[in-house]
A and B are shown apart, each in its own frame.
Chain A
């Protein structure tokens, strides 16, 4: 299965390099493969463990206290990531239709529709699906969809659900949060530990947890460094290539695996810097920031369109978001539980704007692109205000385009490509 998955991904990536832009990009090699290999291995192990009854399976939402979960012997899966993978493989709509046929509106989260569709279609190991869960955990981070989606899953599978609710970050992100919110979060984290003990029959091992926290901290530092390579001018890497190895920080922070993967990724990037290899074969005329999740089904195409006009994405909100997700502080046990909620998706509009300003400055962008992402409302809704305000404050142009992170039916290739071409032409005239 591992080799088949790897071959499938490699073929898909190669087959999508179809435009002139593809010849203008120096693609990452190992960094794009490595996560997929480990992912296939993880799926295989989890299915085997499920069949044997050896370990339990838990489905979690992307913002989850990973080090805590990995303290227990469970296989953890993220349906959102599974949705991303299906989107990348060009299979999202196939599954979404099953969900829509059951009455789930096309306006709902495009990750959720893949997940529900796979369940309703009875997708199993042969279809590359996740093993079914024994219990569920969600940490709502300003995404109310998580609550409803996970409650529906809990009803469907008739299994226990734990909600680690997240107070909204209603103040500047570097300020301490309200004491009672912090107390809630800490208390519920202890409740989560009790829940996991009950579900797994294991006692919580604090030493193991702190070891995982060590890995999470290390992975975070590495991921941060990896992202900062593209602060160089010209950038040694096209940002969209870095979205491939985003998987470990999203899914496996808290495991040594994430650290091992990122050491390899960093090594590849350092090699490129040492050899003078840049993201674009020729000159880099424009550097863009992407705000929003990318359209996963166009992960290869969008950078090619930009490369055709000698431009490149050098930073994305979603990449940098995970630096915050993995912020477990530097202190003791309860300190590690505290910083978690200060994540991009849980910030108000002003804080997102400030964060965008920092990224644009630090990555020396001369433009930004924001996708009105129909598939994810908490990410999308602040975008109009962000675009207006960032343009005003930084005097750099922004392109807003319509799309959906995981539903190609809401993405018009010709229109978006033409928008980018025109936008770059305007940039050239400045």
Chain B
């Protein structure tokens, strides 16, 4: 029997020591690294340009330098992004990319550009409404501009072959992670939600062929770990960019009676559930994959997530949902009441937690206990 903590040790270690690991990776590969801030960035193009796409995630420490440039009522995601850049903690990055998705992230991007944080900085203009034919044309043109800017910066022309290769790598990552998610459908899943998050976040930070190989090994190893008891309450987590800042919260739920078996979040199922089609022209396929509102409440129509949430809850036999609202997040702030209403109407008990409460883990523990009692009908 293998110890799950040993099995995922490399992922945890990588996440804990990301700057050092990335600097090593940069040195060993000689490749430029481009940070990305949101799932709408077509990272396949970054790979196709011969560079490494690196997801920028928030970290659970005090934000200081960003305070002077972005108010406290901007969300933690945008402030942490800016703070890390201003402090030079992401000095292994050669550039950053942000799509037009929400106000604070856009402003944070603008500010870091004003402070010359990176030698390459690109803002991918993206429509908010994704149903109309003209929005597809807009998207195509702006992704073309993004592609050109990557070519100019990297000095490499992005060929069809490069894109196909990049698509193969990223599709493999998504497919393998979906296999991991399939294991969570079992009545006794092999790992907890916070552990899955460690694995997924590591993949977002540096999705490479090496990561995919490790993931294949992980899937095999998981057949040999001690399974989580069936008696645990099966939960799903719903939110936006749930990352290192909220990890302790997930762990708090899972230390007691719960296990997160699935999710609807940017750093989970929404990142992996759609692949890039390989039967089409690769550029067109990339456009198509990313021109999809279901990734996020920030796009219109945001409500199409609801059917997906209901399906996930059914497929994973979810008994309750924990909705984590990122404080000061407007897209999810508007979506949350209707999300809770939808869950209630679907017969799924829901608990709403604002991310500002994450620091107060004692309170979270108490709320979790009350939630479990409600689910179990005690």
CB-CB under 8 A for A188 and B132, given A103-B340, A105-B354, A142-B103: yes
A165 & B69 in contact (Cβ 8 Å cutoff): no
Our pick among B68, B106, B111, B328 for the contact of A168 (Cβ within 8 Å) is B106
The residues in A between 173 and 189 inclusive whose CB is less than 8 angstroms from any CB of B are 178, 180-181, 183-184, 187-188
B331 & A144 in contact (Cβ 8 Å cutoff): yes
Complex Cα distance, B300 from A107, in Å, reads 21
Q: Interface 1/0s, chain B 315-355, versus A by CB < 8 A?
A: 00000000001011011011111101000000000001010
Interface size in chain B (residues, C-beta < 8 A): 49
**B301 located at the interface, meaning its Cβ lies under 8 Å from any Cβ of chain A in the complex:** yes
Complex Cα distance, B106 from A349, in Å, reads 11
The residues in A between 295 and 346 inclusive whose CB is less than 8 angstroms from any CB of B are none
**B302 located at the interface, meaning its Cβ lies under 8 Å from any Cβ of chain A in the complex:** yes
B334 & A191 in contact (Cβ 8 Å cutoff): no
Interface contacts (Cβ under 8 Å), in number, total 135
B128 & A385 in contact (Cβ 8 Å cutoff): no
Complex Cα distance, B130 from A163, in Å, reads 10
**A118 located at the interface, meaning its Cβ lies under 8 Å from any Cβ of chain B in the complex:** no
Our pick among A149, A384, A385 for the contact of B334 (Cβ within 8 Å) is A149
B residues less than 8 Å from A109 (CB atoms): 330
Our pick among B301, B302, B333 for the contact of A107 (Cβ within 8 Å) is B333
Binds B, one of A47-55, A71-79, A220-228, A371-379: A371-379
Q: Considering only CB atoms, which chain B residue lies closest to A190 in the complex?
A: B134
Q: Considering only CB atoms, which chain A residue lies closest to B129 in the complex?
A: A163
B residues less than 8 Å from A381 (CB atoms): 70-71, 74, 103-104, 107
Q: Considering only CB atoms, which chain A residue lies closest to B299 in the complex?
A: A147
**A350 located at the interface, meaning its Cβ lies under 8 Å from any Cβ of chain B in the complex:** yes
Binds A, one of B2-10, B23-31, B135-143, B262-270: B135-143
B102 & A380 in contact (Cβ 8 Å cutoff): no
Q: Interface 1/0s, chain A 128-170, versus B by CB < 8 A?
A: 0000000000001011110111011001000000010101101
A144 & B134 in contact (Cβ 8 Å cutoff): no
B333 & A104 in contact (Cβ 8 Å cutoff): yes
Our pick among A147, A148, A349 for the contact of B110 (Cβ within 8 Å) is A349
Q: Considering only CB atoms, which chain B residue lies closest to A103 in the complex?
A: B337
B138 & A148 in contact (Cβ 8 Å cutoff): no
B111 & A144 in contact (Cβ 8 Å cutoff): no
Q: Considering only CB atoms, which chain B residue lies closest to A143 in the complex?
A: B103
Shortest Cβ distance from residue B310 to the other chain A in the assembled complex, whole angstroms: 16
A residues less than 8 Å from B70 (CB atoms): 381, 384
Complex Cα distance, B352 from A388, in Å, reads 38
Q: Considering only CB atoms, which chain A residue lies closest to B136 in the complex?
A: A184
A148 & B331 in contact (Cβ 8 Å cutoff): yes
**A108 located at the interface, meaning its Cβ lies under 8 Å from any Cβ of chain B in the complex:** yes
Our pick among A105, A151, A181, A378 for the contact of B301 (Cβ within 8 Å) is A151
A385 & B73 in contact (Cβ 8 Å cutoff): no
B303 & A151 in contact (Cβ 8 Å cutoff): yes
Shortest Cβ distance from residue B1 to the other chain A in the assembled complex, whole angstroms: 45
A184 & B135 in contact (Cβ 8 Å cutoff): yes
CB-CB under 8 A for A148 and B302, given A191-B132, A381-B74: yes
B300 & A349 in contact (Cβ 8 Å cutoff): no
Shortest Cβ distance from residue B114 to the other chain A in the assembled complex, whole angstroms: 6
14 further A-B pairs in the complex, CB-CB below 8 A; given A142-B103, A377-B330, A378-B103 = A107-B73, A107-B328, A140-B128, A142-B106, A147-B128, A147-B299, A148-B335, A155-B338, A163-B128, A163-B300, A170-B125, A180-B141, A380-B71, A380-B73
Sample of 29 A–B contacts (CB below 8 Å): A102-B337, A103-B336, A105-B327, A105-B336, A107-B328, A107-B333, A108-B334, A143-B103, A144-B102, A144-B103, A147-B128, A147-B298, A147-B299, A148-B298, A148-B330, A148-B335, A149-B334, A163-B128, A167-B127, A168-B100, A178-B141, A187-B134, A191-B134, A377-B328, A380-B73, A381-B107, A384-B71, A385-B111, A385-B114
Chain A interfacial positions (CB closer than 8 Å to B): 102-105, 107-109, 112, 140, 142-145, 147-149, 151-152, 155, 163, 165, 167-168, 170, 178, 180-181, 183-184, 187-188, 191, 348-350, 372, 374, 377-378, 380-385, 388
